[in-house]
Amino acid sequence: EVQLVESGGGLVQPGGSLRLSCAASGFTFSNFAMSWVRQAPGKGLEWVSAISDSGTITYYGDSVKGRFTISRDNSKSTLYLQVNSLSAEDTAVYYCVKEPADYWGQGTLVTVSS
Amino acid sequence: SYELTQPSSVSVSPGQTARIICSGDVLAKKYARWFQQKPGQAPVLVNYKDSERPSGIPERFSGSSSGTTVTLTISGAQVEDEADYYCYSATDNNLGVFGGGTKLTVL
């Protein structure tokens, strides 16, 4: 059974940083590209970032480029998202997604507030 | 443009056919996916490559494409199909883009 379990969310002050993790199991992690998608409270889905199966190619949405960094450790079957310079607009549930988007985690909530 | 446009809401009676349209220039060149999201739950893929249905998704969910428009059709909508639906595609440089979402009401 495919499982994606996010962690690392929480309350952070504006300008702060967090490292989100997604532990994957039930499939050969190194064979699949992965993505992060977020959803602000009461709002729609927003694509954030994606990474190739090997980790050598990364993509970022305009709203996070230069502040967020996606990475992966295939030996640990874990996906990461380093989020820096956070603002209130980054408050959202962050979902880990196995491409081609056939499996999603349950999400981890990031709240940016003073 | 890299925007995908959906109606904010669609309403049908149980057993009727619901159609949700998504439009955007990128759809002329790239495949679309559709996701269903119920309150408090993660999204679920219900359609990909414009018209393919993942295993486990009821046959009443179908997709189609024409030019810069894709359509998710729910034939004989059920009360349990009430949810938010999002279209998705990717740009030429592999950046993802979601539509704004459509709230489907079945009552």
Q: Give residue for tokens 């998705």.
A: B88
A44 and B94 within 8 Å at the Cβ level: the answer is no
Is the model's pLDDT at B1 over the cut of 60?
no
Closest CB from A44, A59, A100 relative to B95: A59
Beta bridge partners of B73: B19, B62
Question: Phi then psi for A62, rounded to 5 degrees?
Answer: -60, -35
Q: Is B88 on the interface with A (CB under 8 A)?
A: yes
Q: Tell me the mean pLDDT in the region B25-46.
A: 96
Q: Tell me the mean pLDDT in the region B49-55.
A: 92
Q: Is B34 on the interface with A (CB under 8 A)?
A: no
Alpha carbons B99 and B77: distance in angstroms, whole number = 21
Give pLDDT, residue A4.
Answer: 98
Give pLDDT, residue B2.
Answer: 82
Q: How far is B43 from chain A (nearest CA, A)?
A: 7
pLDDT tens digits, residue range B75-96? Answer: 999 999 999 999 999 988 889 9
Give pLDDT, residue A104.
Answer: 97
Confidence tier at B68 by pLDDT (50, 70, 90): very high
Closest CB from A37, A102, A104 relative to B54: A102
Residues 6+ apart with CB under 8 A from A89: A40, A63, A112
Pairing of strands B44-47, B33-37: antiparallel
Is the model's pLDDT at B4 over the cut of 90?
yes
Chain B residues in contact with A92 by the CB 8 A cut-off are none
pLDDT tens digits, residue range A20-60? Answer: 999 999 999 999 999 999 999 999 999 999 999 999 999 99
Q: How far is B36 from chain A (nearest CA, A)?
A: 11
Confidence tier at A109 by pLDDT (50, 70, 90): very high
Candidates B4, B50, B95, B97: best to mutate against A (most CBs of A within 10 A) is B95
**B68 and B8 Cβ atoms separated by less than 8 Å:** no
CA B106 to chain centre: 16
pLDDT above 70 coverage of chain B, percent = 99
Q: How far is B27 from chain A (nearest CA, A)?
A: 17
Q: Tell me the mean pLDDT in the region A65-88.
A: 98
Give pLDDT, residue B92.
Answer: 85
Pairing of strands B9-12, B102-106: parallel
With CA atoms as reference, the chain B residue closest to A95 would be B42
